[in-house]
Structure 1
């Protein structure tokens, strides 16, 4: 698996040498509704599968799930990822802004299951999904794209995170879109403590050392993605990425590995 991933990343490094072909690739634009424009009004449902390393254990895992994205010409969007939202500004000199309310992240003790050492998350308790406010800012200029997301968990948890991702179209036609990407994520002290910290009470129940991370860079990532239009309605996506935790998260006694690699694919039906 790691050799396959290395081959994909080597391909990604070589792709910028390919010519960027100008084409109307709105069919292959990001399926995430918060990153699309009112002119790209459509709905997509699909399923995806991925295989990758686990931060909280040494056992690589298969993951599968369904997704849905609905984008309407009046600015309203509905997403299994970002929730129910509205596009506040649509394509003003390449900029767009949106807001939504949706689900926050979560974590289960079973995420630490592995084959070679005790589960570090056992006794830490589950982190449940909460309501979350999201603010999005996007910029598109030809083959260049920048997507930012500021997320604020509601309730007593109050975790705040900021994600910034840059994408570049290295190959773009009406049927194919290849992108390389790089991103970075920042978390406030509450968010970092929620996912990577160990309180005195949790130390007793889990046997992990007490750890109190500060606010900082949660992780950085690089990736490559290929989207292909099988027909006007059916779209496939395959990709690979590597993510490395920042020092505050990576030094946590809960973390089994600081670097995670994954590959995956999905198929969606647009209408």
Structure 2
């Protein structure tokens, strides 16, 4: 079950739109290419009660040898062995701005500093149980700079279980449940407020501990228009855990993403 990719901050699909972070290109018999475009309504950052409409643009190339290049993950390799699948990749991490910028960030975060994108390594392991698909995805973003507030290395783990609810004349409807976990550096980078940040912003200091980031539900409806074109719509619900939800930058623990995109493959 392939889902849309997650977006920056809560998701611009990812991130992204897809909250099944580990969907990746696998073995192909021939070179394959794809492009997509659409729009998504997303929170301005994880925990925000402000929303914005952001454009979706993307593409991918899949080689016959399992190598792939796409705008969601970057450069990687994937393969399937029966019901077991594995992929690994390197690409850019998410980012967050402390001002309104092209559908990202928010001026409410002024003084928090920019979390800049940096190199990120990822790996996904999936297992097909017939009606259900289990997935585990781990990512590690490398250190950006010596700024402990926004430049530290961090890691996250996502566990998911997905299934197909409907497949027929009206297309297909897929659902997945997922849980996201982050280490202490991840939580502090995205939800913590250091003393320096507190002095420069409207927020009080907050030290975030590692652990559960969020639990979520994704629903994706896909309608094939012809052999090469399909229309996909995603509704993603993410409820932030206590450690993230107690952060002073979080105004709403329930985060929703709604997006639609047109995909063309050849």
Question: What TM-score bracket applies, with the shorter chain setting the length?
Answer: 0.7 to 0.9
Asked if the contact 1:132/1:152 (under 8 Å) is kept, the reply is yes
Cα offsets for 1:37-72 (capped at 9, x unmatched): 314752211112111445443322212120112222
Deviates more, 1:130-139 or 1:46-55: 46-55
What secondary structure sits across from 2:111 in the alignment?
Answer: coil
Cα offsets for 1:101-125 (capped at 9, x unmatched): 111111011269xxxxx95411101
**Going by fraction, where is helix more abundant, 1 or 2?**
1
Matches within 5 A, 1:1-271: 29-30=2-3, 34-39=23-28, 42-54=32-44, 55-87=46-78, 90-110=79-99, 119-155=107-143, 157-173=152-168, 176-271=171-266
* Cα RMSD after superposing both structures: 2.3
What's the CA shift for 1:185?
0.3
Deviates more, 1:168-177 or 1:154-163: 168-177
Q: Which runs of 5+ in 2 are unaligned?
A: 6-21, 145-151
Size of the aligned set, in residue pairs, is 237
What's the CA shift for 1:145?
1.7
Cα offsets for 1:117-175 (capped at 9, x unmatched): x9541110111000011111112233322232100111252100001222101122587
Q: Partners of 1:77 and 1:228 in 2: how far apart?
A: 25
What secondary structure sits across from 2:158 in the alignment?
Answer: strand
Q: Which runs of 5+ in 1 are unaligned?
A: 1-27, 113-117
